Amino acid sequence: GTTLGASAAESGRYFGTAVAANKLSDSTYVGILNREFNSVTPENEMKWDATEPSQNNFTFGNADRIVNHARANGMRVRGHALAWHSQQPGWAQSLSGSALRSAMVNHITRVATYYRGKIHSWDVVNEAFADGGSGARRDSNLQRTGNDWIEVAFRTARAADPDAKLCYNDYNTDGQNAKSNAVYAMVQDFKARGVPIDCVGFQSHFNPQSPVPSDYQANLQRFANLGVEVQITELDIEGSGQAQADNYGRVIRACLAVARCTGITVWGIRDSDSWRASGTPLLFDGSGNKKPAYTSTLNALNGG
Ligand code: G3I
């Protein structure tokens, strides 16, 4: 293939990017988006603060702009994210206990129902495990509603949109470590008990302090062996030139080597679109030119 999306499609995979609704009027941005990508993830527009700014008052305008653009251009949509400790509206941050649990269930039901049939994969729960060596759940208002909040979220999402793949998504789980071991144990438990889960998202935000792990492929494979899809959901790699290009190539080849690794999403198009304000972690420079990382990614998708 000659584009990222077409090349990924040759092995039945998608190649996506995070998209911001307010950039859909930027013709350089949209030109690259439409040429290269066949999946999109709204970067912020489907989060709780964006979709339910006051309780039971749902606003889908910015998310709809992205979903409509995607559907008009034959792209799939990853939904991100139904339940997360961060980017909650103020009213939810101030709730606890059964009131917060009910609000979470209502939120998932309403958002997943609204988008039923339009989402290929939902990040149902995002970033619920603690960093470091504890293997514990992250402390959060949602966690304090009871340890079963994650499975309740997944069962609620399944009921609302039976055809979407339901993912657990996290960072620093890309290699084998205490955090990924804890996620692994949860997925294993969910599969054993019939809690609906279809996929695990590996965010894959890499930088010199947190490089691509040497056991990245092995970690993806062990999750796949549990019977879930694995997806690379927020890929960006800090760096430049050939070193950055080589790291992108390693990530792409790892996914292609795992049969159940079904798609890759980069977390933005141009370096200037990245959440890393001063970084250059993406595939296109600020002017929209292809970087060496782009060429390496494309070559890897084509089996090189
Ligand atoms: O929209 C408001 C705007 O009205 C306001 O004037 C401005 C002033 O700060 O803020 C704007 O909101 C910002 C929003 O991005 C939209 O640009 C928030 O402050 C800012 O915190 C928010 O950052 C997002 C971040 O998640 C929040 O946690 C990033 O764009 C987004 O890339 C990032 O994405 C996360 C994934 O969801 C989960 N995994 C990690 C990843 C990177 O942090």
**Which residue is closest in CA terms to ligand 1's atom 22?**
44
Cα–Cα distance, 54 to 79 (Å, whole number): 21
- Atom in ligand 1 nearest the alpha carbon of residue 126: 38
8 A C-beta contact, residue 50 and residue 44: yes
pLDDT for 118 equals: 98
**Helix H or strand E encompassing 124:** strand 121-126
Question: What percent of the chain is predicted at pLDDT more than 90?
Answer: 99
For residue 85, the CA-to-ligand 1 centroid distance in Å is 14
What is the per-residue burial (b if ≥16 Cβ within 10 Å, else e) of 184-223? bebbeebeeeebbbbbbbbbbbbeeeebbbeebbebbbbb
8 A C-beta contact, residue 274 and residue 282: yes
pLDDT for 278 equals: 87
pLDDT for 277 equals: 82
Mean pLDDT of 70-89: 98
Q: What ipTM does this complex have?
A: 0.94
Question: What percent of the chain is predicted at pLDDT more than 70?
Answer: 100
Cα–Cα distance, 292 to 124 (Å, whole number): 34
Cα–Cα distance, 136 to 221 (Å, whole number): 23
* Positive or negative: CA dihedral 171, 174, 176, 181: positive
**Mean pLDDT rounded to a whole number for the chain:** 98
pLDDT for 223 equals: 99
For residue 193, the CA-to-ligand 1 centroid distance in Å is 35
pLDDT digits (tens, 9 = 90+) for 213-263: 999 999 999 999 999 999 999 999 999 999 999 999 999 999 999 999 999
pLDDT for 67 equals: 99
**Residue 152 backbone phi and psi in degrees, to 5:** -60, -40
pLDDT digits (tens, 9 = 90+) for 138-188: 999 999 999 999 999 999 999 999 999 999 999 999 999 999 999 999 999
pLDDT digits (tens, 9 = 90+) for 101-151: 999 999 999 999 999 999 999 999 999 999 999 999 999 999 999 999 999
For residue 187, the CA-to-ligand 1 centroid distance in Å is 28
**Which residue is closest in CA terms to ligand 1's atom 36?**
43
Question: 18 - beta bridge partners?
Answer: 41
Of 86, 167, 275, which is best to mutate to test ligand 1, by the most ligand atoms within 8 angstroms of its C-beta?
275
pLDDT for 288 equals: 98
8 A C-beta contact, residue 233 and residue 41: yes
Q: How many other CB atoms are found less than 10 A from the CB of residue 57?
A: 10
**Which residue is closest in CA terms to ligand 1's atom 34?**
43
Residue 286 in this model has a pLDDT that exceeds 90: yes
For residue 62, the CA-to-ligand 1 centroid distance in Å is 14
**Which residue is closest in CA terms to ligand 1's atom 16?**
44
Query: What is the reported pTM?
Result: 0.98
Mean pLDDT of 68-93: 98
- Atom in ligand 1 nearest the alpha carbon of residue 86: 28
pLDDT for 251 equals: 98
For residue 248, the CA-to-ligand 1 centroid distance in Å is 24
Residues with CB under 6 A from ligand 1: 43-44, 86-87, 126, 203, 234, 275
**Of 159, 153, 77, which is closest to residue 121 (Cα–Cα)?**
77
For residue 200, the CA-to-ligand 1 centroid distance in Å is 22
- Atom in ligand 1 nearest the alpha carbon of residue 275: 32
pLDDT for 10 equals: 98
**Does a cis peptide bond (omega within 30 degrees of 0) precede residue 18?**
no
8 A C-beta contact, residue 70 and residue 40: yes
CA gyration radius, the chain:
18
**Catalytic annotation present for 234:** yes
Of 44, 205, 276, which is best to mutate to test ligand 1, by the most ligand atoms within 8 angstroms of its C-beta?
44
Catalytic choice (45, 127, 234, 238): 234
How many helices (H) and strands (E) are present in the chain, helices listed first? Answer: 11, 9
